[in-house]
Chain A
Amino acid sequence: MDNIFLNSKNVFLDVINNKDYIQLDRVSVIYQSLRDSISKPLKMILFYGKPGTGKSMFLSKLYNDLRQSQEVYLYSTPILDESEFYKTLAQDIFKIKHDAELNFTQFMAIVKHKEEEDSKETPIIILDEAQLYSQNLMEKIRLVSDTRKVKFLITLHKTEKEDIIAKEHFQTRIWETIELQNATSEELKMYIQKKLMQANCFDSVHMFTTKAVNRIHSLTNGNYRDTNKLLYTLFDLYTVYEKENKVSALKTNYISIKMIEMSAIHTGLINV
Chain B
Amino acid sequence: MFNTTELEKQWLQYKIKSYIPYLIISLSLLIIILIVYFFKFDMEKSSTNIQTSIIKSKPNPKKEIVQIKPSPHILVEDNKKVQLLPSLDFMKKMQNASQLHRPTVKSIQRPHISDIRPKEETKHAKRKKIIQDNIEELPQESKKDIDKTINIERKNTQKDIYDIIKRFKKNNNPVLSLFIAKKYYELGNYKQAYNYALITNEINKDIDDSWIIFTKSLVKLGNKDKALDILKQYIEHSHSNSAKILRKEIQSGKFK
Which among A55-63, A136-144, A224-232, A264-272 touches the partner chain?
A: A264-272
| Residues in chain B near residue A270, CB distance under 8 A | 14
In the bound complex, CA of A161 to CA of B4 (Å): 41
- Dominant secondary structure at the B interface: helix
Q: Is the CB of B14 within 8 A of A240?
A: no
Chain A residue at smallest Cβ distance from B2: A240
B14 touches which of A237, A241, A261 (Cβ 8 Å) = A261
Q: Is the CB of A262 within 8 A of B8?
A: yes
| Residues in chain A near residue B14, CB distance under 8 A | 261, 265, 270, 272
| Residues in chain A near residue B4, CB distance under 8 A | 237, 240-241, 244, 246
Residue B255 interfacial (CB < 8 Å):
no
Contact residues, A242-261 vs B (CB, 8 A): 244, 246, 258, 261
A236 touches which of B2, B10, B13 (Cβ 8 Å) = B2
Contact residues, A21-74 vs B (CB, 8 A): none
| Residues in chain A near residue B13, CB distance under 8 A | 272
Number of inter-chain CB pairs below 8 Å = 29
In the bound complex, CA of A272 to CA of B9 (Å): 10
Q: Is the CB of B17 within 8 A of A240?
A: no
Smallest CB–CB gap between A264 and chain B, Å? 9
Task: Convert B1-42 into 0s and 1s, putting 1 for each residue whose CB lies closer than 8 angstroms to a CB of A.
Answer: 110100110110111010000000000000000000000000
| Residues in chain A near residue B15, CB distance under 8 A | 261
Smallest CB–CB gap between B7 and chain A, Å? 5
In the bound complex, CA of A240 to CA of B7 (Å): 12
Smallest CB–CB gap between A194 and chain B, Å? 28
Q: Is the CB of B2 within 8 A of A265?
A: no
Q: Is the CB of B2 within 8 A of A266?
A: yes
Q: Is the CB of A272 within 8 A of B10?
A: yes
In the bound complex, CA of A266 to CA of B2 (Å): 9
Q: Is the CB of B17 within 8 A of A272?
A: yes
In the bound complex, CA of A262 to CA of B5 (Å): 11
Chain B residue at smallest Cβ distance from A258: B11
Chain B residue at smallest Cβ distance from A236: B2
| Residues in chain B near residue A240, CB distance under 8 A | 1-2, 4
In the bound complex, CA of A169 to CA of B1 (Å): 47
| Residues in chain A near residue B8, CB distance under 8 A | 262
Smallest CB–CB gap between A137 and chain B, Å? 43
B2 touches which of A237, A258, A261, A272 (Cβ 8 Å) = A237
| Residues in chain A near residue B1, CB distance under 8 A | 240
In the bound complex, CA of A262 to CA of B15 (Å): 10
| Residues in chain B near residue A266, CB distance under 8 A | 2, 7
| Residues in chain A near residue B10, CB distance under 8 A | 262, 265, 272
| Residues in chain B near residue A241, CB distance under 8 A | 4
In the bound complex, CA of A265 to CA of B9 (Å): 11
Smallest CB–CB gap between B13 and chain A, Å? 6
Smallest CB–CB gap between A11 and chain B, Å? 19
In the bound complex, CA of A265 to CA of B17 (Å): 13
In the bound complex, CA of A262 to CA of B14 (Å): 9
In the bound complex, CA of A236 to CA of B15 (Å): 22
Smallest CB–CB gap between A243 and chain B, Å? 10
Contact residues, B111-147 vs A (CB, 8 A): none
Smallest CB–CB gap between B152 and chain A, Å? 113
In the bound complex, CA of A266 to CA of B17 (Å): 17
Chain A residue at smallest Cβ distance from B17: A272
| Residues in chain B near residue A244, CB distance under 8 A | 4
| Residues in chain B near residue A261, CB distance under 8 A | 11, 14-15
Smallest CB–CB gap between A269 and chain B, Å? 11
Chain A residue at smallest Cβ distance from B11: A262
| Residues in chain B near residue A236, CB distance under 8 A | 2
Smallest CB–CB gap between B241 and chain A, Å? 126
The contact sample of 22 A-B pairs, CB cut-off 8 A, is: A236-B2, A237-B2, A237-B4, A237-B7, A240-B4, A241-B4, A244-B4, A246-B4, A261-B14, A261-B15, A262-B7, A262-B8, A262-B10, A262-B11, A265-B7, A265-B10, A265-B14, A266-B2, A266-B7, A272-B10, A272-B14, A272-B17
**A residues whose Cβ falls under 8 Å from a Cβ of B:** 236-237, 240-241, 244, 246, 258, 261-262, 265-266, 270, 272
Name the 5 nearest CB pairs between A and B, nearest first: A240-B2, A272-B10, A262-B11, A272-B14, A262-B7
**B residues whose Cβ falls under 8 Å from a Cβ of A:** 1-2, 4, 7-8, 10-11, 13-15, 17
A240-B2, A241-B4 provided; 11 other pairs, C-beta below 8 A?
Answer: A246-B4, A261-B14, A262-B7, A262-B10, A262-B11, A265-B7, A265-B11, A265-B14, A266-B2, A272-B13, A272-B17
